[in-house]
Structure 1
């Protein structure tokens, strides 16, 4: 859950520098609110979770953010010219690789919390996840297919405009066509969500039942994550791959049509994020707000 919060912070590309830094500094609080929602920790567990959460974010701030800054700057020569679909796929793959590293560290840091969970908390977790899955099912499946395509295009447009700035009407039409060319089956998303939910509850229950020590619990959490990317279901895995490929195609087409001013915007965007991460990584972390 903390990794999800961190990922959300790292994708606040449309924010100005102050907003990005404020969001990151509050990421541990956002993450803890989600942990408490799903696990209903008691006071002692909450104190441990906050300490471990801070430990994770200290590592992320001082070890990962400088790497993100260097990587973002290394992308500038590519964004200064038209990029291919394969290049965008490699950018996406690198983001996933960096997420893998954060998940592994997060599992290690938060394992002491997972090993302390009681049956009542696992029951609470299942109930909370059931409720969230119902909400997502409604969100994904209630809109008409046309509305689903429109919402998905809006998401892609926001990413594109964060990178390249304002797009022309012709660029938006081309981006919409490329977006709509991607397969669309939200039922597969919902089915995968349910599978991950059941796997998560079973994994946490296994840790509790076997009273696994923290290192082994961390291994179980990492294995759980590995089973989510890619999906073990061949049909869903193929679908997600096709959607990702289609997104890379759309971004490559937009990159090819970018004007000099838009390329300049893209380079400034990368440098701005890198500078924000540099600033965050230089700041001293204050004492845990849990204490």
Structure 2
């Protein structure tokens, strides 16, 4: 929920503040730092990846940042028109998802061609670490009961709203409590999906990466992940998006003039950060 309330349409790197702009401009070595948590690449593999990363970042800076900026400017304009309806927020959610889909579809063909360069040992190490992370998530989830998770979600959502619009009124706190209680848990369905697609990718990399049709099959896996989802996950996600859009609409309607100015300033700060990145 944080990504929608605070930054909303900026789906790649958080673009608030100098440290985040620094992260965007140094995504290549940050990416390797992240990858090292899962698999150690040799010099040849890093060299192959380097060229692709440079191309991806050039494309992203030239093509995608303008898309993020345009959506944020549209949200800011809508906010200036007194209210944003649940339907309008839902459309913004759909637009935000398209940002991720474009990035995924742009990098996936090259990832599919790079994947066969991993050794069996690297593949097994990577997926063992992924499963280790899965189990950590499951254990963390199970340490709290429903009431504890609900209380934590309410607290987090109120804090996120406070960062974006300032001090919350009792009415606004109650809006968040009311709508947060309507969310349906997707954790079990999401973990099942996550493990299913990881198992499919693991098996494909071990058994099929030397076959002529591997690149196309792996590309299909990367660009059509919904094939590994249960229908229930899609239904719960759609329900939660509707609830979240309704909550944002209610919060938008409740804004005081001071809160609206702060929200507009926050959006403009992100827009300015994107403009700076485009000029770098």
Same fold by TM-score greater than 0.5: yes
Paired residues for 1:228-247 under 5 Å: 228-229=225-226, 232-247=229-244
Distance in 2 of aligned mates of 1:206 and 1:250? 47
- C-alpha RMSD over aligned residues: 2.4
Shift of 1:33: 2.2
Quote the residue 1:160 is aligned against.
Answer: 161
Distance in 2 of aligned mates of 1:138 and 1:162? 30
Shift of 1:127: 0.8
Quote the residue 1:55 is aligned against.
Answer: 55
Quote the residue 1:116 is aligned against.
Answer: 117
Kept after mapping to 2: 8 A contact 1:178/1:250: yes
Asked whether 1:41 is paired with 2:41, we answer yes
Kept after mapping to 2: 8 A contact 1:79/1:267: yes
Asked whether 1:279 is paired with 2:280, we answer no
Partner SS, residue 37 of structure 2 = helix
Shift of 1:187: 2.1
The one of 234, 249, 253 equivalent to 2:250 is 253
Distance in 2 of aligned mates of 1:149 and 1:252? 21
Asked whether 1:74 is paired with 2:79, we answer no
Kept after mapping to 1: 8 A contact 2:189/2:230: no
Kept after mapping to 2: 8 A contact 1:72/1:274: yes
Q: Given the superposition, is the C-alpha separation of residues 150 and 202 from structure 1 closer, same or farther in structure 2, using an over 3 Å criterion?
A: farther
Quote the residue 1:169 is aligned against.
Answer: 170
Paired residues for 1:1-291 under 5 Å: 7=11, 9-10=13-14, 15=16, 17-80=17-80, 81-205=82-206, 208-210=209-211, 217=215, 219-229=216-226, 232-283=229-280
In structure 1, the gaps of 5 or more residues are 1-5, 284-291
| Of 171-180 and 30-39, the range deviating more from structure 2 | 30-39
Distance in 2 of aligned mates of 1:203 and 1:175? 44
